[in-house]
Amino acid sequence: MMRSSTKPIFHLFCPFIFLLEGVLTQNTTTQVNVGVVLDLDSSVGKIGLSCINMALSDFYDTHSHYKTRMVLNIRDSKEDVVAAADAALDLMKNVQVQAIIGPRSSMQANFVINLGNKSQVAIVSFSATSPSLTSLQSPYFFLAAQSSSNQVKAISAIVQAFGWREAVPIYVDNHYGESLIPYLTDALQEINTRVPYLSVIAASGTDEKIAEELYKLMAMQTRVFILHMTMSLGSRILAKAKEIGMMSEGYVWIMTDAMTNLWRSIDASPIDSMQGVVGVKSYIPKPKKLENFTARWRRTFQQENPDSINSELSIVGLWAYDATFALAMAIEKAGTANLHFNKPDISSSSATDLETLGVSQNGPRLIQKLSRSKFRGLTGDFYFANGQLQSSVFQIVNVIGSGERRVGFWTPKNGIVRQLDLTNTSPNTSKPKLGPIIWPGDTTLVPKGWENPTSGKKLRIGVPVKGGFSEFLEVVWDPINQKAISIKGYCIDVFDAVMENMPYAVPYEYVPFATPDGEAAGSYNDLIDQVYYGNYDAVVGDTTIVANRSLFVDFTLPYTESGVSMVVPIRDNKEKNAWVFLKPLTWDLWVTSGCFFVFIGFVVWILEHRINNDFRGPPAHQIGTSFWFSFSAMVFAHRERVVSNLARFVVIVWCFVVLILTQSYTASLTSLLTVKQLMPTVTDINELLKKRESVGFLDGSFVEGILLGLKFDKVQLKKYNSPEELHELFTKGSANGGISAALDEIPGIKIFLSKYCGKYTTVEPAIKTGGFGFVFPKGSPLVADVSRAILNVTQGDKMEQIENSWLKKETVCPDVDPSVSSGSLGLESFWGLFLIAGAASISALIIFSARFLYEQRHVLFQFHSETSAWRRIRILSRIFDQRDPSSHTFRKSEVRDYASSTCSVHSIGVVGSSPNTNCPPSPSSCSNQTDSSHFVFVVDQGRVTGHGDLTPSGSASPEIFPSPERSSLELANRNDP
């Protein structure tokens, strides 16, 4: 008792000690009054004041030449907001302090900051870390500590690293506790972690109230708790949590820096209840300077506070030390010219202290110098940005035994890292890593973050009430009591099987989403909304995974085939008429085939005309023969011989093409005449829009929104509740109040098609959806485990048994696929054949033309330069029209033809020549070739000329072409002019 009573006396005379020291040592220095407002009986107040005194001593020892000396005016705020405000008001009004260090808590600082702003007195706090204080935007407030909002990213990074999907903040019910929650919840939502509940505990709460709140948390699924408390209240909460069993295996406790910074300074008794707790706190490098200071501080603090046994130097004390250093430096730089206060001119005796509060003339200059202060302090680089210290590195610690072990770091740029490397400024893309952590319950097994409620509460599973498609789900009602007797169906069996595969027991019960009279209480969207509102814990049924629904709830993995398709009636499309034989081929294939028949006939005629008697004769006969030869190739009945190798090559290729065409035509025609042609009545949804025909959809389904999005009018949409109603709507037709098509999900369509075999089929569009899935609240930890259980069920035999029981009927329905129905063959299937035939024919023509021109080169070389191109072509055409005497087909008559040709030339083509002895003696043998209208080629002085109507009186003496070219030069066209 004697020792404790001397403490206030020491603090009272402390300013006078410094004043006496200043008078004795330096009479030339100027004392500047600075206030100190702290809770002197708290550990933070004691540690802070001790560090402030040591900071002043160290500062002036190293800056003895400074002309200013800070004089501390200490006031005890007694852990009370009003006392802190009164102390600050007293210091400003009566002592006229230039700055105030403190107060300790955020609630105290809230009012003191306003006083400082009014009197232009700088308020420098090293422990009031509430983020709401910076929102006051007072230029006279300096936070010489890390704002508590800086740590929320580090806390959310821990939650994300372990994959916890839910977390519950537990905070003190005051300004300090409430100010952090918005920042914390935002940080958790950014990583998709849900905050299902906010636990608030009053600062003056009794152990009974604390236990009541903890039991409430214990009955919830969430097992991750973030504790944001003062050290005194937080230690009581952890002690009570251990008492009721909430510090056992499976629980996670994360402390904010308010507790992590100070937990080692508390008594030893609550430490046992903190085993396994994880905390974050600001990281402070430990240079030699800090180690020396820590040793000196321990000695000094123990002398001043002999009753404090477990006190440890925390970062709060270091912030107090550096803040005092910064303030002393700023006071020196600001000077001593305006240290007085201007008091308001109020003479009324009834004026309040606030009304008579003066204004410091040195305040604006002092805050300017304080804002520019920058030095290397005990906590590292110390400087203010926007009135507060900037975010720095946080260390993550794990409470073990009587101490703590660092398991990692968090930096603003790299996130969670195992080892700190401040030189690496590139973002960390690897998976966050922490050292081994001993969790509550003395286990290294990472808690999954949630458990089933210990209260035995069952999950309320909402199920839809529907009239049709009972294969998926059916609710059987008691007609007397209007209660559900049984709930069964495909979806129910799947969910039961999934729950059996869960790694733990999950008690649940089905609750129909129905009105008191047993009718559906709303649509599927309304049912899903009940999960969002918390009325149901999950939904089981034929609920489809859709994007807009996932904004409010979470879905498991799908357990059915996904997609929406259109179902339409089918009809027999077989045409029985006189022109059905034209159907196997499309019009373009018919036209192309006909053109190629003509073309091939022409090519064969060209190749065979000079050497084959079958392709000679009158023009009409030659044209008919060419067409007949080409078309008869279809039945391989042509009688004409083909003697040219080029023509044979063309005919072989053409026969192959004709074989493929005829066989394909036969197969397609057979299919048209014998196979039943089942074709959909509608093939494109745009047809329905253009014709304004009606479309059906399942009542309550999201498909209605899809149809409206496709620009269907509401009057075009018809609802149905069962396969029977859908069939009835199709039977009526769109013109009679029915429908022409329906959109539904693939599982429902399969059930409908299985009941009405061969009458309907599916066509485009096929709209992608997620399939059927189970619905849980947003961020529910059950989703991941249920999804894994779904995979186990769907990949096993159990799923096949359930499908056979509900979805597969004994009736075997034939598959109807319009895409494989026989149709007309198009040119796209045969253009390769035509390309080959065309290439072969053109190649043969080119070879023949080149050979023909080469053989007639003597004619080409002897043309007169004045001869026109048209005349040259006509001459070559007449040569082509003649038989080729060199062909083996004409060798038997070669001698006779040669003699006849020679006699003819001698008798009419040469003027003034002597008779050829090789001619027959009888003049009659050449009589038919001596007509005056003959057109004969002769050679005149090296030129080829044509002469008509030659007379014996001609003076020319031409030389006849020597054999064998002679027959090529005689053109027997009598009608040539």
Q: Would you kindly state where each structural domain of the chain is located, as residue ranges?
A: 30-147+286-341+357-389, 148-284+394-417, 459-560+783-803, 566-570+678-768, 580-674
Quickly tell me which residue has 């929320």 as its tokens.
152
What distance in Å separates the CA atoms of residue 408 and residue 457, rounded to the nearest whole number?
A: 38
pLDDT at 59 over 90: yes
More confident residue, 744 or 25: 744
Cα-based angle 13, 16, 20 (whole degrees, multiple of 5): 140
From residue 117, alpha-carbon distances to 109, 140, 142, 511, 600 in Å are 12, 6, 12, 61, 106
Q: By C-alpha distance, which of 110, 60, 63, 58 is closest to 82?
A: 110
**Three-class secondary structure assignment of 900-912:** HHHHHHHHHCCCC
pLDDT at 510 over 60: yes
Of 105-114, 525-534, 825-834, minimum mean pLDDT range: 825-834
Q: Output the pLDDT for position 539.
A: 95
pLDDT at 68 over 80: yes
Neighbours of 489 (CB within 10 A): 23
pLDDT at 5 over 50: no
E-strand ranges in 588-713 read 678-680, 695-698
Arithmetic mean of pLDDT, 482-486: 78
Confidence bin at 967 (pLDDT 50/70/90): very low
Helices 797-806 and 490-500: crossing angle, nearest 10°?
160
From residue 712, alpha-carbon distances to 685, 709, 746, 804 in Å are 10, 7, 21, 37
Of 82-96, 302-316, 554-568, 820-834, minimum mean pLDDT range: 820-834
Alpha helices in 120-219 (DSSP H): 152-161, 175-190, 207-218
Q: Output the pLDDT for position 424.
A: 63
Q: Output the pLDDT for position 124.
A: 95
Decide if 370 contacts 384 (C-beta within 8 A): yes
What distance in Å separates the CA atoms of residue 710 and residue 733, rounded to the nearest whole number?
A: 21
Decide if 98 contacts 331 (C-beta within 8 A): yes
Lookup: tokens for 734: 């769109």
Confidence bin at 968 (pLDDT 50/70/90): very low
- Residues in a beta bridge with 484: 477
Q: For 489, what's the count of Cα atoms within 13 Å in the CB-facing half-sphere? A: 22
pLDDT at 573 over 90: no
From residue 247, alpha-carbon distances to 163, 222, 466 in Å are 20, 14, 47
Q: Output the pLDDT for position 438.
A: 94
Of 6-10, 52-56, 393-397, 629-633, minimum mean pLDDT range: 6-10
CA torsion sign, 234 to 236 to 237 to 241?
positive
pLDDT at 884 over 80: no
pLDDT at 161 over 60: yes
566-570+678-768 has which CATH code? Answer: 3.40.190
Confidence bin at 310 (pLDDT 50/70/90): low
More confident residue, 774 or 286: 774
Confidence bin at 819 (pLDDT 50/70/90): very low
In this structure, the strands spanning 564-572 and 760-767 are antiparallel
More confident residue, 583 or 398: 398
Of 388-402, 696-710, 853-867, minimum mean pLDDT range: 853-867
More confident residue, 667 or 758: 667
As a whole number, the mean pLDDT across the chain is 80
580-674 has which CATH code? Answer: 1.10.287
From residue 39, alpha-carbon distances to 102, 191, 523 in Å are 9, 39, 61
Lookup: tokens for 770: 């997620």
Q: Output the pLDDT for position 676.
A: 55
Arithmetic mean of pLDDT, 183-209: 91
Confidence bin at 427 (pLDDT 50/70/90): low
Arithmetic mean of pLDDT, 921-943: 38
pLDDT at 188 over 90: yes
Using one digit for the tens of pLDDT, what is the confidence trace for 216-269?
898 888 899 999 998 889 989 999 999 999 999 999 999 999 888 887 766 555
User: Do 459-560+783-803 and 566-570+678-768 show the same overall fold?
Assistant: yes
pLDDT at 54 over 50: yes
What distance in Å separates the CA atoms of residue 936 and residue 947, rounded to the nearest whole number?
A: 6
Q: Output the pLDDT for position 122.
A: 94
Lookup: tokens for 61: 């020892």
Decide if 228 contacts 171 (C-beta within 8 A): yes
What distance in Å separates the CA atoms of residue 74 and residue 41, rounded to the nearest whole number?
A: 13
Using one digit for the tens of pLDDT, what is the confidence trace for 587-646?
888 888 888 888 888 888 888 877 777 777 788 877 877 777 777 776 665 667 777 888
What distance in Å separates the CA atoms of residue 390 and residue 315, rounded to the nearest whole number?
A: 15
Q: Output the pLDDT for position 894.
A: 52
- CATH architecture entry for 30-147+286-341+357-389: 3-Layer(aba) Sandwich (3.40)
Arithmetic mean of pLDDT, 73-80: 92
Q: Output the pLDDT for position 21.
A: 52
Q: If you average pLDDT over each of 280-284, 325-329, 573-577, 872-876, which comes out highest?
A: 325-329
Q: Output the pLDDT for position 390.
A: 79
pLDDT at 650 over 60: yes
More confident residue, 960 or 804: 804
What CATH number matches the domain at 148-284+394-417, 2.60.40.10, 3.40.50.2300, 3.30.700.30, 3.60.150.10? 3.40.50.2300
More confident residue, 121 or 919: 121
What distance in Å separates the CA atoms of residue 107 and residue 123, rounded to the nearest whole number?
A: 14
Lookup: tokens for 508: 């649940």
Using one digit for the tens of pLDDT, what is the confidence trace for 512-527?
998 888 888 888 889 9
Confidence bin at 913 (pLDDT 50/70/90): very low
Q: By C-alpha distance, which of 765, 727, 694 is closest to 569?
A: 727
Lookup: tokens for 850: 């080149």
Q: If you average pLDDT over each of 48-52, 811-815, 947-951, 967-971, which comes out highest?
A: 48-52
What distance in Å separates the CA atoms of residue 681 and residue 567, rounded to the nearest whole number?
A: 10
What distance in Å separates the CA atoms of residue 875 and residue 857, rounded to the nearest whole number?
A: 13
pLDDT at 671 over 90: no
Q: Output the pLDDT for position 898.
A: 47
What CATH number matches the domain at 459-560+783-803, 3.40.190.10, 3.40.1160.10, 3.40.50.300, 3.40.430.10? 3.40.190.10
What is the residue type of 484? A
Question: Which three-class secondary structure state does DSSP give residue 223?
Answer: coil
Using one digit for the tens of pLDDT, what is the confidence trace for 772-783?
999 998 878 788
Lookup: tokens for 593: 């085939």
